[in-house]
């Protein structure tokens, strides 16, 4: 454990360390007859130390987490070990952690520590359960950026403030050869097991990953590699001679054109080999133990015990409900024709799109920034506590446009040096209907992901594992709820923008139908796209991207709508039972003021809030 990491956790452990001090006590100087009482650690103090120790170990094992948190440690030249061997060792540790947790008397803990106990227990049990299906997970796909994310970490989180930081940056580039070699080995193992990425994904994977192996200094090109540009910019302000900087640049060029390129080439060669072996594009029902795997994914991402049939029907019912709301807006606008005709209008009306050029991209970013400012201006009417971290709206870098979603959020650093980022993928502006872009900003930025994730990181007295935990149904459910909340806050000022909000909502409702259709009902890619086409106003490009995402990331898309439904259900319950005593700011404090948690535990917290409020 590095000294920096020890300092990070010193505050959490200080009470325990004081009680465990092995320094001999001073002689008793008290008057005869005065009782001396030994300090006894409370159960809360003991379990806090336990949580801190586990988190300390996990962070120490993950250099990438250390970098993302902005910690200055001695492992910034390394990468997290994602090998099967390391994963198996981690499960042994997780089982030991669960046994350690069971040594505490839950009933002796305060309410907040019981909450931490329950969340920790759920987290560890879920991790252990997931391990049985590790080989069913796709090692690399066209959507999640498993390979490009390593480069992204260097560009966006690896700081260079001194010569050691620069040396570590170079070492990490060199080490990517082994990282990509490990990906290659796992790809080969999964193929032998009967698990290969669906056929449609290979062209994009080869293009995106192979693209990392282009540009100067790998080839004689006017286009410079993103890593070289980033390194050049980051060492600019170092107190070094021109010769020293030139030497560093020579080394980074050698690292990129040598070991880094070699690792990329071998990985792409294996992906290309498998592209000629894969048998079509199927849901996970076609994988070994595919049915059990999908059932486990539903539980993982929803945090609820739901069958595929239940989820499918929930989606069908909600799509029908939203269609009725859309018809009302269509009538308000005076549109003549069917709902499907209106979908075509929304997809094709030029006034509903930004121009597909630099001016259109700048207009999108300006709108998103303006909408963010507007939300902050009224947020205190809906929230008792807001994050201190700033939010920055950014365009996705060109080098990773093909391997990221249309928009996503990255949380701020622990030390506050880096704000939260709302990234928008603006490669193809024909994918951004203006009426929809507003809702996406509320989802990814404020009052969505930024309010929840950044606030969790800033909460005082919360165990570190709760500050940085994420549960799909909770995190994405909140963000989708936030899209709807923005309407209550006075936004979506015209019928078409409100239609855009419903566009985003029905998109998530349709996911319940399509994800279960693909993986449980054996729908083809074409069937899935056609369901989107008939029931939503998504653009053709978005339909394809979405469906291909569902194929390679089974179950993940279910959390958005299921989580939103649960939050709305809990809000309705609080409103009904509390009446005039209900305060939306207090309710939101319960939902996002304690860090992420599984939905069943969130429900218990809301019930406890209602009970406490009624007593008053």
Per-position DSSP letters for 368-436, written without gaps between them: HHHHHHHHHHHGGGT-S---SS-EEEEEPPGGGGGGS-SEEEEPPPTTSSS-EEEEE--S-GGG-BHHH
Mean pLDDT across 162-183: 98
Sign for the CA dihedral angle at 334, 336, 339, 340 comes to negative
Does the structure show a pLDDT above 90 at 38? no
Region for 413 from its dihedrals, namely left if φ exceeds 0, alpha if ψ lies in -120 to 50, beta otherwise: beta
Q: How confident is the model at residue 547 (pLDDT cuts 50, 70, 90)?
A: very high
Q: How confident is the model at residue 18 (pLDDT cuts 50, 70, 90)?
A: very low
Region for 289 from its dihedrals, namely left if φ exceeds 0, alpha if ψ lies in -120 to 50, beta otherwise: left
Half-sphere exposure of residue 487, counting CA atoms within 13 Å on the CB side?
A: 15
Mean pLDDT across 550-573: 99
Half-sphere exposure of residue 394, counting CA atoms within 13 Å on the CB side?
A: 17
- Taking every pair of Cα atoms in the chain, the longest distance, rounded to a whole number of angstroms, is 97
Query: How large is the C-alpha radius of gyration of the chain?
Result: 26
Does the structure show a pLDDT above 60 at 329? yes
pLDDT digits (tens, 9 = 90+) for 395-417: 999 888 877 788 999 999 888 88
Q: How confident is the model at residue 21 (pLDDT cuts 50, 70, 90)?
A: very low
| 129-148 residues labelled b (16+ CB within 10 A) or e (exposed) | ebeebebbbbbbbbbbbbbb
Mean pLDDT across 57-72: 93
pLDDT digits (tens, 9 = 90+) for 213-239: 999 999 999 999 999 999 999 999 999
195 within 8 A of 289, measured Cβ to Cβ? no
Does the structure show a pLDDT above 80 at 382? yes
Q: How confident is the model at residue 580 (pLDDT cuts 50, 70, 90)?
A: very high
Q: How confident is the model at residue 69 (pLDDT cuts 50, 70, 90)?
A: confident
pLDDT digits (tens, 9 = 90+) for 494-514: 999 999 999 999 999 999 999
Mean pLDDT value across the chain: 93
**Percent of the residues in the chain that have a pLDDT greater than 90, as a whole number:** 88
Element (H or E) spanning 563, and its range? helix 558-578
Does the structure show a pLDDT above 70 at 612? yes
pLDDT at 33: 41
Mean pLDDT across 170-174: 99
pLDDT at 13: 33
Does the structure show a pLDDT above 90 at 20? no
391 strand-pairing partners: 420
Token couple for 14:
């200080």
Q: How confident is the model at residue 616 (pLDDT cuts 50, 70, 90)?
A: confident
3-state helix, strand, coil in the chain (%, to 5): 65, 5, 30
- Rounded CA-CA distance 382/390 in Å is 18
DSSP 384: S
Q: How confident is the model at residue 32 (pLDDT cuts 50, 70, 90)?
A: very low
């Amino acid at each position: 454990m590095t000294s920096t990491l020890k300092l990070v956790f010193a505050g959490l452990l200080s009470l325990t360390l004081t009680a465990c001090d092995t320094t001999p006590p001073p002689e008793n100087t008290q008057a005869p007859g005065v009782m001396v009482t030994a300090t006894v650690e409370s159960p809360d103090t003991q379990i806090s130390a336990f949580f801190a120790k586990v988190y300390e170990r996990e962070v120490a094992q993950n250099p990438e987490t250390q970098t993302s948190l902005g910690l200055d440690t001695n492992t910034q030249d390394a990468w997290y070990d994602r090998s099967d061997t390391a994963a198996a060792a981690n499960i042994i540790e997780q089982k030991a952690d669960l046994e350690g947790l069971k040594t505490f008397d839950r009933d002796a803990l305060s309410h907040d520590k019981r909450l931490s106990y329950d969340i920790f227990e759920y987290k560890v049990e879920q991790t252990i359960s997931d391990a049985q299906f590790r080989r069913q997970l796709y090692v690399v796909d066209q959507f999640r950026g498993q390979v490009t994310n390593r480069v992204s970490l260097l560009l966006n989180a690896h700081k260079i403030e001194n010569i050691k930081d620069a040396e570590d940056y170079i070492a990490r580039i060199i080490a990517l050869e082994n990282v990509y070699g490990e990906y290659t080995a796992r790809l080969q193992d999964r193929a032998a097991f009967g698990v290969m990425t669906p056929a449609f994904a290979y062209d994009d994977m080869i293009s995106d990953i192979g693209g990392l192996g282009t540009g100067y200094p790998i080839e004689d090109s006017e286009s410079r590699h993103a890593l070289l540009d980033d390194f050049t910019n980051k060492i600019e302000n170092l107190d070094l001679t021109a010769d020293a900087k030139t030497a560093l640049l020579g080394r980074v060029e050698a690292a990129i054109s040598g070991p880094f390129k070699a690792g990329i080439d071998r990985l792409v060669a294996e992906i290309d080999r498998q592209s000629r072996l894969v048998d079509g594009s199927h849901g996970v029902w076609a994988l070994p133990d595919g049915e059990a795997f999908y059932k486990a994914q539903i539980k993982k991402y929803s945090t609820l015990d739901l069958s595929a049939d239940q989820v499918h029907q929930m989606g069908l019912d909600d799509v029908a409900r939203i269609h009725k709301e859309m018809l009302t807006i269509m009538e308000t606008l005076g549109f003549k024709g069917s709902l499907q005709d209106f979908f075509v209008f929304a997809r094709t009306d030029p006034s509903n799109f930004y121009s597909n050029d630099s001016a259109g991209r700048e207009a999108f970013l300006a709108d998103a920034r303006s909408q963010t400012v507007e939300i902050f201006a009224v947020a205190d009417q809906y929230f008792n506590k807001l994050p201190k971290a700033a939010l920055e709206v950014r365009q996705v870098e060109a080098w990773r446009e093909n391997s990221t979603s249309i928009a996503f959020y990255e949380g701020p650093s622990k030390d506050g040096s880096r704000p939260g980022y709302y990234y928008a993928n603006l490669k193809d502006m024909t994918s951004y209907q203006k009426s929809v872009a507003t809702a996406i900003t509320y989802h990814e930025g404020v009052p969505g992901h930024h309010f929840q994730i950044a606030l969790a990181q800033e909460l005082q007295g919360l165990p570190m594992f709760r500050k940085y935990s994420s549960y799909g149904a909770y995190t994405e459910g909140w963000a989708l709820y936030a899209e709807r909340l923005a309407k209550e806050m006075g936004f979506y000022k015209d019928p078409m923008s409100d239609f855009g909000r419903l566009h985003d909502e029905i998109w998530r409702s349709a996911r319940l139908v399509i994800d279960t259709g693909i993986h449980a009902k054996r729908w083809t890619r074409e069937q899935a796209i056609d369901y989107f086409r008939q029931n939503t106003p998504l653009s053709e490009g978005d339909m394809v991207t979405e469906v291909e995402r569902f194929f390679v990331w089974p179950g993940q898309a279910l959390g958005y709508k299921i989580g939103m439904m649960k939050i709305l259900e809990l809000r309705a319950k609080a409103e009904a039972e509390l009446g005039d005593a209900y305060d939306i700011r207090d309710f939101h404090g319960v939902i996002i003021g304690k860090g992420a948690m599984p939905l069943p535990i969130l429900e218990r917290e809301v019930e406890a809030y209602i009970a406490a409020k009624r007593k008053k």
